Structure 1
Amino acid sequence: MTVDGRVVAGRYRLGRRIGSGAMGVVWQAHDELLYRTVAVKQLLLQPGQSEADAEEARRRAMREGRIAARLQHPNAVAVFDVVDEGDGMPWLVMEYVPSRSLSQLLEEQGTLAPQEAARIGMHVANALAAAHAAGIVHRDVKPGNVLLGDDGTVKITDFGISRAQGDSTVTATGMLAGTPAYLAPEIAKGHDPTPSSDVFSLGATIYAAVEGIPPFGLSDNPLALLHKVASGQIDPPRQAGPLTQPLLSLLSAEPTERVTMVRCRDALGAVAAGQPAPPMPVPQQAHMPTVATAAQRPMPMATRLDQRPPVGGAPRATSTTAMPPVRPKGPQQSGGMKRGPLIGIVTAVVIAVIVGVIVVINHGGNNNAGGSDGTGGSTGGGGSTTSASTTPAATVINRQPLSGDGDPGPDVQMKTVTDFFAQLPSNAQNAATAYLLPGFQGGADAFLAEMSKAKTVTLSDVQPGNYYIRATEHIVTKDGVKSVQQIGVGLKWENTQLYIQKIDKIGAAKPES
């Protein structure tokens, strides 16, 4: 279809076609009222579509506009307008980003270095954390929906199948929303999406960026791929380097074992800055295959993206942020282990044994009940992981005074709550010191006692309020008991800081499968 030169809503003159998706075609256009370039998404109905299906498609387009317009974030493509041309077909007017998708970049370059993949993932996580705080789940995070601007910016786009809290679901019965290769296991099993599902999909996107292939591989048979996704058994990363531990945490088969998007953003930011990622929970071995050690791991093979025909020629160099060197795409050399590397491995093993003996001596007769300091525990030769070994190390929290005139708004209030819960349960002591009001209702000691029994604590469906934030709390105890609880978090503005005054349990906790 050619509509070049058509004027939509009396002001948006369509130019060249710049993309297409499940719901329609995207055109570059000129806003003749504000004299700026925009992107206009044209809804296309399929030939022979029933009136009921056509009406659903229209509702989905309007819903995409409403949801996306609620999210104003520098790392999310902004929606400016939704117009109706009188034929019942909505047009979505969006921010125009001179860019290419991460998918296009990977087709051209094969894989990215871990630090660059972390930089891209950090910006996407930043936008998704804001979306989750607003009650929005994206549901289709994938390389094709990550835009890399010519100026180095990163933006997530296409909230067309996202679901907002309080908005009715308009996806047809039996329709699977999302791209199978990047779906979370619980979605492949038919469960409702949650913010944790976006965490998994972002992890899968970053995995594909460094490994050259999604964590569940590729298949021309979508049903076979969905079956593998539902199993939750990923192919362990081999080229992720400093991203290995964060990826394993993000790609846990159990939603309650994944970190929040806030912690995901912080971990990716550390790797992007060339720093070690903060310790993150390691998935239970029952749900995650053991990652091969350096001695066991085979040499990296050429990525499957190498099998694709070249796309677009040489990479563009228009971004002000230089891309790091890309991994070579040729075959790897193989052969026996040289003497130098062998000596290095033996030396590392000897050092590890010595350190282990010192740790045992220092901790002998000084066992702390509960093990809440997160310093002990190790993985034995059999590969079983103890709960202590999965506990992130505690870190001191230095909160900066809040700036600006007047009391903090709803966004700052929700961020305070999500940042606090992102520290739980491993860093509960420092989080209580930094965030809880001295007169915290119920007492800080009781709160810390509850956290000492928890293995993971996550939030979903965070809803804004006037110094009272409602959310759904998911807790997995160290005994493996899972529960879900509606909570209300009361806040108080004091001097230049926002503190948590109380945490109400609304109704009774329910078991969570």
Structure 2
Amino acid sequence: MDEGRLVAGRYRLRTRLGSGAMGVVWQAFDERLGRVVALKQLIVPEGTGSAEAVARAAREGRIAARVQHPNAVTVHDVVEDGGRPVLVMEYVPARTLAEVGVLPPDAAARIGAQVASALAAAHAAGVVHRDVKPGNVLITSDGTAKISDFGIARAVGDVAVTRTGLLAGTPAYLSPEVARGAEPGPASDVFALGATLYAAVEGRPPFGEGGNTIALLHTVAAGRFDPPRNAGPLTGALMEALRTDPTTRPDMARFADLLRSPASPATPASSSSPASSAPPAVPTPPATRLDLPVPPVGPSRRRPVLIGVTALVVVGGVVLAVLLAARNDDAAAGGAPTSSGTTTSTTTSETEGEVTADRLQQTVADYYALLPDDTDGAWAMLGPGMREQGREKYDEAWEAVRDLAVTTPPEATGPDHVTVGLRYTGEDDERIAETRGLMLAEVDGTLLIVAEEVLSSERVEEGGGDDEGEGGRRGKDKEEKGRKGEG
């Protein structure tokens, strides 16, 4: 596209405004209606036919045009130029939030409230933005904020990819569930806006902006980041939006309200928050957290703690091979031994409704007591994020395990965290000892496991440790009955 050229018989190109992973933006003049517009020529991924790309862009353009809000950039038209789709949008003379730089909390809150209001209207119209980030937030000279590029991400196939299938842009503002493969939804927009405002006050996004896309996706999927230090009264609102579990985030309208009147610097998930039963977005254990169960894999197949199975992270239809943390374990058959050697069973706590250390520990013990044989019961104890992997993969993970014993009883290490020691026989008859960390959240009065991680793992020689203890005897009894489904 060249300056002065006429596009689609009516849009005269004036000035090239910039380019990015998804396209090139021009200021143009609509000679038919006599107004200045912005044209974005979309980059079409290799292997996508031009007709298909134009049709998809037109469809997404029509969807985006449903969003009519003073804080949203309007999509006027979708045209074709040289076989490529071009979006015609409202021209807004402004700088992006990325160009503005670090802001004080009150200014970030004002901008965020405007953007959240527009996104709430979009969600009410059934439109998910899918690519909220500082570069898509425009700030005019009078302080008006506008969110741009509705539908752009989906129009070009959700993300621009390289020949090797990796993200061409940064995933720094993705929500953890999208980084793990979930379809973007309203809750992922909430997280992305929270991450955008976090960057506005901290000078960097929550998960950093490392050049290694795979490593960054790994970090995003784990959901671990440092709480903001400069957000002041905005801290509480940000931490609500940045919850790892999408079901516990406020919706966009509620987030807009929180931004209009930010509370004092609250700790995340305070008892007065609208999602007080949910865990804070920043866990206390030092290791990577995953909201997916990870099937056990012996140390010979992974470096301790972090490297293991190659997980498929699907971001809007693009499959990304990402090394996620060590795969999950299994659990005990028949019941998990406590410190006294007895077997636990599911009970109702006397303090039901209050998340006490006893309830946390009992829930974890009950969970491992069900596995690996009763995957139906164990599955019912998982939170929504843990279930995103699908039941089939969950069952397959547990089928590889036998002789599992709890060697160190569950111990509450925080208001929603528990550690436990396990020993089991995995693939290739390798005997593994692991320490696991679990995160729990209360949903409708029931504690659910919302994350599980491997904190340490090592191979154990035959006959070592407490294999002949209660756990070992239970494992041998179980082996005599056969593999899962036989006893």
Report the TM-score range of the alignment, normalised by the length of the smaller protein: 0.5 to 0.7
- Counterpart of 1:99 (choices 90, 94, 101) is 94
The verdict on how the C-alpha distance between 1:236 and 1:265 changes in structure 2, with shifts beyond 3 A counting, is: same
Please list, as runs of the form range in 1=range in 2, the aligned pairs for 1:54-69 lying within 5 A after superposition.
54-69=50-65
In the aligned structure 1, how far is the partner of 2:229 from the partner of 2:172? Answer: 18
In the aligned structure 2, how far is the partner of 1:241 from the partner of 1:283? Answer: 24
Give the superposition deviation at 1:280: 4.0
Deviations 1:374-405 (A, max 9, x none): xxx8999x9x9xxxxxxxxxxxxxxxxxxxxx
Paired-residue identity, %: 57
In the aligned structure 2, how far is the partner of 1:211 from the partner of 1:287? Answer: 17
The verdict on how the C-alpha distance between 1:23 and 1:214 changes in structure 2, with shifts beyond 3 A counting, is: closer
Show the counterpart of 2:147.
156
**AA at the equivalent of 2:33:** L
The verdict on how the C-alpha distance between 1:182 and 1:45 changes in structure 2, with shifts beyond 3 A counting, is: closer
Deviations 1:4-41 (A, max 9, x none): 11122332211000122333211111122222211112
Please list, as runs of the form range in 1=range in 2, the aligned pairs for 1:206-285 lying within 5 A after superposition.
206-271=197-262, 279-281=273-275, 284-285=278-279
Asked whether 1:71 is paired with 2:62, we answer no
Q: Is the 8 A contact 1:100 1:148 kept in 2?
A: yes
The verdict on how the C-alpha distance between 1:251 and 1:282 changes in structure 2, with shifts beyond 3 A counting, is: farther
Q: Is the 8 A contact 1:39 1:94 kept in 2?
A: yes
Show the counterpart of 1:19.
18
Q: How many residues align?
A: 296
Q: Which stretches in structure 1 are left out of the alignment for 5+ residues?
A: 292-368, 372-376, 385-474, 483-513
In the aligned structure 2, how far is the partner of 1:235 from the partner of 1:88? Answer: 45
Show the counterpart of 1:116.
107
The verdict on how the C-alpha distance between 1:115 and 1:99 changes in structure 2, with shifts beyond 3 A counting, is: same
In the aligned structure 1, how far is the partner of 2:356 from the partner of 2:201? Answer: 26
The verdict on how the C-alpha distance between 1:161 and 1:481 changes in structure 2, with shifts beyond 3 A counting, is: farther
Deviations 1:465-494 (A, max 9, x none): xxxxxxxxxx94231469xxxxxxxxxxxx
The verdict on how the C-alpha distance between 1:189 and 1:80 changes in structure 2, with shifts beyond 3 A counting, is: same
**AA at the equivalent of 1:77:** V
Give the superposition deviation at 1:154: 0.7
The verdict on how the C-alpha distance between 1:195 and 1:237 changes in structure 2, with shifts beyond 3 A counting, is: same
Q: Is the 8 A contact 2:237 2:263 kept in 1?
A: no
Asked whether 1:289 is paired with 2:256, we answer no
**AA at the equivalent of 2:69:** H
The verdict on how the C-alpha distance between 1:67 and 1:118 changes in structure 2, with shifts beyond 3 A counting, is: same
Show the counterpart of 1:477.
444
Show the counterpart of 2:180.
189
The verdict on how the C-alpha distance between 1:171 and 1:57 changes in structure 2, with shifts beyond 3 A counting, is: farther
The verdict on how the C-alpha distance between 1:272 and 1:55 changes in structure 2, with shifts beyond 3 A counting, is: farther
The verdict on how the C-alpha distance between 1:273 and 1:80 changes in structure 2, with shifts beyond 3 A counting, is: farther
Give the superposition deviation at 1:59: 3.7
The verdict on how the C-alpha distance between 1:55 and 1:84 changes in structure 2, with shifts beyond 3 A counting, is: closer
Q: TM-score, normalised by structure 2?
A: 0.54
Show the counterpart of 1:33.
32
Show the counterpart of 1:301.
none
Q: Is the 8 A contact 2:243 2:280 kept in 1?
A: no
**AA at the equivalent of 1:57:** A
The verdict on how the C-alpha distance between 1:273 and 1:83 changes in structure 2, with shifts beyond 3 A counting, is: farther
Give the superposition deviation at 1:225: 0.7
The verdict on how the C-alpha distance between 1:217 and 1:170 changes in structure 2, with shifts beyond 3 A counting, is: closer
Please list, as runs of the form range in 1=range in 2, the aligned pairs for 1:417-432 lying within 5 A after superposition.
none
Q: TM-score, normalised by structure 1?
A: 0.51
Please list, as runs of the form range in 1=range in 2, the aligned pairs for 1:350-389 lying within 5 A after superposition.
none
What's the secondary structure of 2:247's corresponding residue? helix
The verdict on how the C-alpha distance between 1:228 and 1:172 changes in structure 2, with shifts beyond 3 A counting, is: closer
The verdict on how the C-alpha distance between 1:288 and 1:61 changes in structure 2, with shifts beyond 3 A counting, is: same
**AA at the equivalent of 1:201:** A
In the aligned structure 1, how far is the partner of 2:237 from the partner of 2:7? Answer: 45
RMSD: 3.7
In the aligned structure 1, how far is the partner of 2:37 from the partner of 2:264? Answer: 33
In the aligned structure 1, how far is the partner of 2:207 from the partner of 2:158? Answer: 28
Q: Is the 8 A contact 2:190 2:249 kept in 1?
A: yes
Give the superposition deviation at 1:74: 1.0
**AA at the equivalent of 1:95:** E
The verdict on how the C-alpha distance between 1:263 and 1:286 changes in structure 2, with shifts beyond 3 A counting, is: closer
Please list, as runs of the form range in 1=range in 2, the aligned pairs for 1:436-447 lying within 5 A after superposition.
none
Show the counterpart of 2:418.
none
Show the counterpart of 2:41.
42
In the aligned structure 2, how far is the partner of 1:214 from the partner of 1:282? Answer: 25
